[in-house]
Chains A and B, each alone.
Chain A
Amino acid sequence: MTYAFASPLSWLLALLTLWGVIGLAGLLRPGNIAFVARTLFPLGALCGLAIAAIAAFSIGAPTEQAVLAIGLPDLPFHMRRDALASVFLFLLGAASAGVSIFSAGYFRSGEGAPAGLLCLLYHLFLASMGFVLLADDAYSFMVAWETMAVSSYFLVTTQHRIPDIRRAGFIYLLIAHVGAISILLSFGVMQGGSWRFTFDAMRGAELSPAWAAIAFLLALFGFGAKAGLTPLHVWLPEAHPAAPSPVSALMSGVMLKTAVYGILRVTFDLLGQPQWTWGLVPLVLGLFTALYGVVFAAAQTDMKRLLAYSSIENIGIMFTALGLSIVFLGVGMSAVAALALIALLYHALNHAFMKSLLFLGTGAVLHATGERNLGRLGGLIHRMPWVAWLTLVGALAIAGLPPLNGFVSEWLLLQAFLFAHQVPKTFVNMLLPLGAAMLVLAAALAGYVMVKFYGVIFLGQPRESALRNAHDAGVRERIGLAWLALGCVLLGLLPNQVIAHLQIVTRQLGFASLPISDAPWWLLEPLAEREASYAPLVFLAAILLIVVLTTYGVRLFYHERVRQADPWDCGFGRLDSRMQDTAEGFGQPIRRLFQPFFFMRRELPGPRDAKPRYSIEIGDRIWRGLYEPLGGLVQRIANSVAWLQQGRISAYLLYSFITLVVLLALML
């Protein structure tokens, strides 16, 4: 097949390849930080920007396909760019641009693997994510998917000399591969007996409802493992703290979204007509994941683990939206299904920006202080104002506060939930509104988590004297943070423009159009007849106007005298930094309210202890209840067949001989 060179698809393929080339260039002078960080990473950022721009402008362009003559004989790579892929490519390009420019200032010498190797893996990781989004047959999809998993595994284990990090990497790789097998099986079911593995063949395959459901569940398991759907979430809180911060940002902000993309591709494109009952599975799992993630986030004391659990929560929100969309589509409420799907896509975009921003913020803090433990931070807003204020944008956005972006997608999802009572299935229509309440609980808890995260790191008094020497981030890091913060603000302020683009995706997937009203451009009113509207710009303008007017009013009518003094603190005096809440203390109400979620081991001092000690250890019940028994089972099976391994060549020759005889007997 030929294709015009000027088509967006060919440009995208060229730019993805360029990412690979930039990565390889890192091997030219692997030890030279100045060359790798100052030249190659900014180039990668530019490349990301170009990808984002092309993807954004080509959303409305007609779908294109291409066949690349690489790969095995008779198995060429099929590529395809449609609106869904474009949205996720935009996400990849725009978020990675911020992360790359931050990385330019972040990676320094003497941190684990040499810089050039990191550069190669980093850009390979980016390019493979791009190819996942463009792949149009199971073969190229799996190649890209596995490249993504392996390159990110090596990035996670950058500091491979630390045993905990090797263990984290192992758990990540294990779950990634269990998921990949499931995805492969799902593709195997979806080819429907034609034995052709292009996505086009799968779109055309006629599956019985039972096989379609099996394919859906396999895909849900496989992509859910990558996305961090409970109970497959255990790798996230291990891998994210282990990885360097820019890598955590990419994994959380972008890689999790490729899994969301995968499940959307399978459900709405390859399988086509989902049954409404399928939706209940992601809906229930998603709600549980959202609550589970945010409750654990509130109890964490390591800032990157906290953010990892917060990512689990957001993935839960996205899968809730997925389930809701399937239910609505299955019962014929296509426009509302489109609304839920738009909420999902919007949230995916939002999360890419805000979570990357927060992870980069923790990276800057980690560099400045060498500390990940919330209990040893505090008061950094004075030392690192740039990082603090830019991170505040991300924290407020992820807490779902208007007029920032996190609020818009949650608002849209709640608007979709308000139609749940119209689902013509008794009981389901009564239970679904409770799902909305659970979603709001999770979203409100996210506010709690962010107050803890931000308050403990940046506000209050420094908990260690060493923090007084912390330095602010460099220029490149600031640019990266500011870019992502800008994304959070713009996505929040211009919802109509974003939704107009996302609607192209839902229309292409066969959903009905939203009955958007002819409201002015700044007023979001997705469903005209319901009159529910939201105007973020008015919010921002009104609050800013009142702030300015009040400030000047106070100055005009009264005075602005300020006297500095010691904190009053109810007159107790002698305040020191250890009197503030620790991260454990701030999480205490959550531990108490959601006790059944936690496995807790506490060591409390007795009344006569000369050296009182207080310690608390919090564990994940799913890890103890599911993974440890499962691991034990595997271990036992392995032990029971271990006698086969004799270590003598004669025994192995005997095994080969027996196998041959058995096979011959079977054949004849």
Chain B
Amino acid sequence: MSAPDWLVQIAGILVALAAAPLFMGWVNKCRAWLQNRSAPSLLLPYRAIRKLFHKDAVIARNASPLFRLAPYIVFGSMLTAAAVVPALGTRLPFTRAADAIALVGLFAVARMFLSLAAMDIGTAFGTLGARREMMIGFLAEPALLMVIFVASLISATTALPAISDHIATQEFAIYPSLAFTGVAFVLVLLAENARIPVDNPATHLELTMIHEAMLLEYSARHLALMEWAAALKLLNYACIGFALFIPWGVATTHTPLALGVAVLALAAKLVLAGVGLAVIETISAKLRVFRVPEFLAVAFLFAVLGLLVHLLLGA
């Protein structure tokens, strides 16, 4: 690996770090527009994070060191995932550190620490959130694996950069199997990122919270890191989706031109993805918790359909 590769890698990490709150802000803005509310500033997530870093951390008396360690680990694993996902270029030093399955494992690390931290204070809300989060996690993972399976059948690898390369460099063709799995992936993305219809990121209504319930006891810098990590997770999922389904524009060499194109392509995709996410969140209603398994079963079925279409029709 040469020096420019590392530069691009570090630049990519910094871009992800900076773009994550912005993407969150963009989704919120689109949602507000669609719902006829006056939209918050795009920069609001940054201001919120900055404000939180300035505040004094208030920590429950019976918190254990695990509680204070968890935000850093959650943030660390999300940032590591951001380094691994081929968002800008496919030939970066870090992309070989994990294939798609290992990436799912990295997300599981964050989820597990988040859930453990939520149980640490011993509040009813925390354990409730942890239990629901783990439930959604284990239901979503099989569907996500089937998505990866189909993509890996088409490109004979589970390495994300290789999958992107394969699809991007091929003659343009529409794979019906990828269409099915694309739907499945979007459903998994909604569930894993605590979006409507599975969870409502804006709610603090006690009995419907999942993700927010786990963060209730966090404040100040710890909360800031958790929020930032959540934004990074959404960005990572979006970028995994781009790598699997619409990889066009990703830099395969590290010339300034290719990188410029890659940045623009990523920005365009994120803008569109934000609009799409806002539309989904506006037109659907939140599901009851025990309807979520059905929701994720649909995702799983779509992925299996994609698999069967690929195996039976070779498409």
Q: Which of A403-421 contact B (CB under 8 A)?
A: 407, 411, 414-415, 418, 421
Contact of B58 among A441, A443, A459, A563 (CB under 8 A): A563
Q: Mark A361-382, 1 if CB is under 8 A from B, else 0.
A: 0000000000000000011011
B122/A577 in contact, CB under 8 A: yes
Does B108 belong to the interface (CB within 8 Å)?
A: yes
List B contacts of A437 (CB < 8 A).
Answer: 142-143, 145-146, 300, 304
List the one stretch of A145-153, A565-573, A614-622 in contact with chain B: A565-573
List B contacts of A379 (CB < 8 A).
Answer: 62, 122
Does B162 belong to the interface (CB within 8 Å)?
A: yes
A447/B137 in contact, CB under 8 A: yes
CA–CA, A615 and B130, complex, Å = 23
CA–CA, A437 and B299, complex, Å = 13
Does A341 belong to the interface (CB within 8 Å)?
A: no
B131/A531 in contact, CB under 8 A: no
Q: Which of A422-466 contact B (CB under 8 A)?
A: 429-430, 433-434, 436-438, 440-441, 443-445, 447-448, 450-452, 454-456, 459-461
CA–CA, A445 and B140, complex, Å = 11
Nearest opposing residue in chain A for B69, CB measure? A547
A581/B127 in contact, CB under 8 A: yes
List A contacts of B149 (CB < 8 A).
Answer: 418, 433, 436
How many residues of chain A get a CB closer than 8 Å to chain B's CBs? Answer: 84
A565/B123 in contact, CB under 8 A: no
Minimal beta-carbon separation of B111 from chain A (angstroms): 8
Q: Which of B77-124 contact A (CB under 8 A)?
A: 77, 79-80, 83, 94, 96-99, 101-102, 105-106, 108-109, 111-112, 115-116, 119-124
List the one stretch of A43-51, A176-184, A214-222, A394-402 in contact with chain B: A394-402
B57/A563 in contact, CB under 8 A: yes
List A contacts of B134 (CB < 8 A).
Answer: 447-448, 451
List A contacts of B145 (CB < 8 A).
Answer: 414, 436-437, 440
B131/A558 in contact, CB under 8 A: no
Q: Which of A171-199 contact B (CB under 8 A)?
A: none
Does A650 belong to the interface (CB within 8 Å)?
A: no
Minimal beta-carbon separation of B36 from chain A (angstroms): 29
List A contacts of B125 (CB < 8 A).
Answer: 569-570
Does B271 belong to the interface (CB within 8 Å)?
A: no
Q: Mark B135-176, 1 if CB is under 8 A from A, else 0.
A: 101100111011001001100111100100000000000000
Does B269 belong to the interface (CB within 8 Å)?
A: no
Contact of B119 among A434, A443, A451, A529 (CB under 8 A): A451
Nearest opposing residue in chain B for A462, CB measure? B122
Does A273 belong to the interface (CB within 8 Å)?
A: no
Does B37 belong to the interface (CB within 8 Å)?
A: no
Contact of A567 among B60, B64, B312 (CB under 8 A): B60
Does A593 belong to the interface (CB within 8 Å)?
A: yes
List A contacts of B206 (CB < 8 A).
Answer: 570
List A contacts of B312 (CB < 8 A).
Answer: 430
List the one stretch of A117-125, A469-477, A505-513, A533-541 in contact with chain B: A533-541
**Provided the pairs A418-B158, A430-B311 are in contact, do residues A561 and B57 lie with their beta carbons within 8 angstroms?**
yes
List A contacts of B142 (CB < 8 A).
Answer: 437-438, 440-441, 444
B157/A460 in contact, CB under 8 A: no
List B contacts of A538 (CB < 8 A).
Answer: 94, 97
Does A592 belong to the interface (CB within 8 Å)?
A: yes
A447/B108 in contact, CB under 8 A: yes
B138/A568 in contact, CB under 8 A: no
**Provided the pairs A451-B115, A567-B121, A569-B216 are in contact, do residues A550 and B127 lie with their beta carbons within 8 angstroms?**
no
B53/A566 in contact, CB under 8 A: no
Q: Which of A555-595 contact B (CB under 8 A)?
A: 557-570, 575, 577, 579-581, 585-586, 588-590, 592-593
List B contacts of A15 (CB < 8 A).
Answer: none
Does A500 belong to the interface (CB within 8 Å)?
A: no
List B contacts of A396 (CB < 8 A).
Answer: 109, 112
CA–CA, A158 and B145, complex, Å = 45
B76/A567 in contact, CB under 8 A: no
CA–CA, A448 and B157, complex, Å = 29
Does B18 belong to the interface (CB within 8 Å)?
A: no
Does A604 belong to the interface (CB within 8 Å)?
A: no
Contact of B97 among A452, A539, A586 (CB under 8 A): A539
B112/A562 in contact, CB under 8 A: no
A593/B108 in contact, CB under 8 A: no
CA–CA, A500 and B281, complex, Å = 50
List A contacts of B216 (CB < 8 A).
Answer: 568-570
B123/A579 in contact, CB under 8 A: yes
**Provided the pairs A535-B98, A547-B72, A569-B216 are in contact, do residues A530 and B153 lie with their beta carbons within 8 angstroms?**
no
CA–CA, A429 and B80, complex, Å = 35
List A contacts of B79 (CB < 8 A).
Answer: 542, 546
B61/A564 in contact, CB under 8 A: yes
Nearest opposing residue in chain B for A567, CB measure? B60
CA–CA, A547 and B73, complex, Å = 6
List B contacts of A382 (CB < 8 A).
Answer: 62, 64
Does B59 belong to the interface (CB within 8 Å)?
A: yes
B135/A589 in contact, CB under 8 A: yes
B105/A400 in contact, CB under 8 A: yes
List B contacts of A445 (CB < 8 A).
Answer: 138
Nearest opposing residue in chain B for A581, CB measure? B127
Minimal beta-carbon separation of A614 from chain B (angstroms): 16
CA–CA, A579 and B72, complex, Å = 28
Minimal beta-carbon separation of A298 from chain B (angstroms): 9
Does B221 belong to the interface (CB within 8 Å)?
A: yes
B146/A433 in contact, CB under 8 A: yes
B221/A558 in contact, CB under 8 A: yes
Does A630 belong to the interface (CB within 8 Å)?
A: no
List B contacts of A530 (CB < 8 A).
Answer: 156-159
B57/A455 in contact, CB under 8 A: no
Does B217 belong to the interface (CB within 8 Å)?
A: yes
Does B178 belong to the interface (CB within 8 Å)?
A: no
Instruction: Count chain B CB atoms within 10 A of each CB in A399, A430, A534, A564 and give the residue with the most.
Output: A534
List B contacts of A436 (CB < 8 A).
Answer: 145, 149
B101/A411 in contact, CB under 8 A: yes
Does A532 belong to the interface (CB within 8 Å)?
A: yes
**Provided the pairs A381-B66, A451-B112, A459-B64 are in contact, do residues A535 and B96 lie with their beta carbons within 8 angstroms?**
yes
- B residues sitting closer than 8 Å to A (CB atoms) are 53-54, 56-62, 64, 66, 69, 72-73, 75-77, 79-80, 83, 94, 96-99, 101-102, 105-106, 108-109, 111-112, 115-116, 119-125, 127-128, 130-132, 134-135, 137-138, 141-143, 145-146, 149, 152-153, 156-159, 162, 204, 206, 216-217, 219, 221, 225, 290, 293, 300, 304, 307-308, 311-312
Q: A455-B119, A562-B58, A567-B122 are in contact. List 20 more A-B contacts (CB 8 A).
A: A418-B149, A433-B146, A437-B304, A440-B142, A441-B138, A447-B111, A448-B138, A451-B119, A532-B157, A532-B159, A534-B97, A534-B102, A560-B57, A563-B58, A565-B59, A568-B217, A568-B219, A575-B122, A575-B124, A589-B131
6 contacts between A and B (CB under 8 A): A418-B152, A418-B158, A430-B312, A455-B115, A546-B79, A550-B72
- A residues sitting closer than 8 Å to B (CB atoms) are 378-379, 381-382, 392, 396, 399-402, 407, 411, 414-415, 418, 421, 429-430, 433-434, 436-438, 440-441, 443-445, 447-448, 450-452, 454-456, 459-461, 523, 529-535, 538-539, 542-547, 550-551, 554, 557-570, 575, 577, 579-581, 585-586, 588-590, 592-593
What are the 5 tightest A-B residue pairs by CB atom distance, in nearest-first order? A460-B122, A455-B119, A444-B138, A461-B122, A581-B127
